[in-house]
Amino acid sequence: MEKTLNTPSFRPLYDQIKMLIKKGLIDGEWRPGDVIPSEMELAARFKVSQGTVRKAIDALAAENLLIRRQGKGTFVSSHSQERIHTRFLRIVRDDGKSDHLESRLLECRRDKACDTAASYLGVRAGSAIYTVKRVLLFSGKPVVFDTIHLLASQFKGLELSQIEAFQGSMYSFFETRYGVNMVRAEERLKAVPADAEAAQLLGLDVGAPLLRVDRVAVDYEDRPMEWRRGLCNSAQHCYSNVLA
């Protein structure tokens, strides 16, 4: 109903509604997997027309925060029940066929952030973090060696056995056990020679070329929650991306 907020710094109504819905996500009013209220209900609640709510939801769906299902409702996007395997994992087989994926956890230790990790995670060097190492197997063969850094403040009491016991992806685990939802990530790729550890784990010679994928993942509020470095044997696999 509020109309025409004349000029300086005009902000469309649907954008304000979008932020109100996002606030509901941040505050945990609706959790991943939940249905949010119908468009008509939200329209009544915010005192705007259904079309305006619709536009707000469209924007959030475009950012993959919400998922619309015709006839059923609009759901909070979740790492637990989706085909996000292609959304955050861009490593695929060269021939395009799908692999059986398996994660082998190596260690989980409490640690102090090095300068690099601290800068990526937005904390002071030396801050408490967890470091998790694992190998990703594609059809039984080790292809990616991941070193994952997490803010200790957000993942209190993280243990290797918990992660191992959990059925599902690691982001699904974070979401379910810690209420931390990875919503977006930035990756930076380089080619590097394999060091001794990676070479041993991936069954390669030291110095063999590896695809190094650095990732910073953020939550609803764009706060960095994870920094990971993946070392990938790109002999039979590659990093796939679409430019549009």
Sole binder of its own copies in the list 30, 88, 166, 220 (CB under 8 A): 88
Residues 6+ apart with CB under 8 A from 218: 182, 183, 184, 185, 224, 225
CA distance 50 to 41: 9
For residue 103, state whether it binds its own copies (rule: CB under 8 A): no
For residue 90, state whether it binds its own copies (rule: CB under 8 A): yes
| Cβ-contact 226, 117 below 8 angstroms | no
Nearer to DNA, 39 or 226 (CB): 39
Q: Which of residues 62-91 bind DNA (CB under 7 A)?
A: 68-74
| Cβ-contact 224, 153 below 8 angstroms | no
206 makes contact, choosing from its own copies, DNA, none, with CB < 5 to 8 Å by partner type, with none
Q: Which has the closest alpha carbon to 231: 210, 200, 217, 204?
A: 210
Other Cβ atoms less than 10 A from the Cβ of 117: the count is 21
Sole binder of its own copies in the list 38, 64, 139, 153 (CB under 8 A): 64
Nearer to DNA, 69 or 100 (CB): 69
- 235: buried, middle or exposed (CB in 10 Å: 19+, 13-18, 0-12)? middle
Sole binder of its own copies in the list 38, 193, 203, 223 (CB under 8 A): 193
38 makes contact, choosing from DNA, its own copies, none, with CB < 5 to 8 Å by partner type, with DNA
Q: Name the one residue in this structure whose structure tokens are 């990971």.
A: 228
Of 32-40, 77-85, 145-153, 180-188, the segment contacting DNA by CB under 7 A is: 32-40
Nearer to its own copies, 5 or 44 (CB): 5
For residue 60, state whether it binds its own copies (rule: CB under 8 A): no
For residue 220, state whether it binds its own copies (rule: CB under 8 A): no
